[in-house]
């Protein structure tokens, strides 16, 4: 489900991946992230939609930990955020990727597509 408040009122910045987590209730991999908005640090979680913890966790951890990737957050509510892990999301939010980010996102896209 898309978040219309985020889609219609967002700021795109870069954030850092600080680690990965999984939960018993959810098979997806979640990324712990942090970003800075006007000299205020924000922390949070973002799901890598379509990832599966039993197959992807160690690989994703080695790929993403300590990397910087695009984040979009709602202008008036930075707790409403998501890290962008797909070319589709980057295109939707009109985010340009560095060569390093492009390589990482292509790898995630390939991994998620192979799981389907």
Which residues neighbour 32 within 8 Å (Cβ) at sequence distance 6 or greater?
Answer: 17, 18, 19, 20, 21, 43, 44, 45
pLDDT reported for residue 101:
96
CATH number at residue 50: 2.40.50
Q: What is the Rg, in whole angstroms, of the alpha carbon atoms belonging to the chain?
A: 14
Domain limits for position 73: 4-115
Number of structural domains (the chain) is 1
pTM of structure: 0.86
Instruction: List pLDDT tens digits, range 49-78.
Output: 766 666 678 888 899 999 999 999 999 898
pLDDT band at 12, cuts 50/70/90? very high
């Amino acid at each position: 489900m898309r978040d219309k408040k985020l889609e219609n009122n967002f700021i795109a910045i870069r954030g850092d991946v600080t680690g990965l987590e999984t939960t018993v209730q959810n098979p997806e991999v979640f990324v712990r992230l942090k970003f800075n908005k006007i000299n205020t640090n924000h922390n949070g979680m973002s799901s890598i939609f379509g990832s599966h913890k039993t197959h992807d966790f160690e690989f994703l951890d080695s790929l993403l930990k300590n990397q910087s990737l695009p984040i979009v957050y709602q202008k008036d509510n930075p707790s409403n955020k998501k890290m962008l892990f797909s070319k589709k999301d980057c295109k939707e939010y009109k985010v340009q990727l560095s060569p390093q980010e492009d390589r990482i996102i292509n790898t995630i896209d390939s991994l998620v597509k192979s799981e389907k």
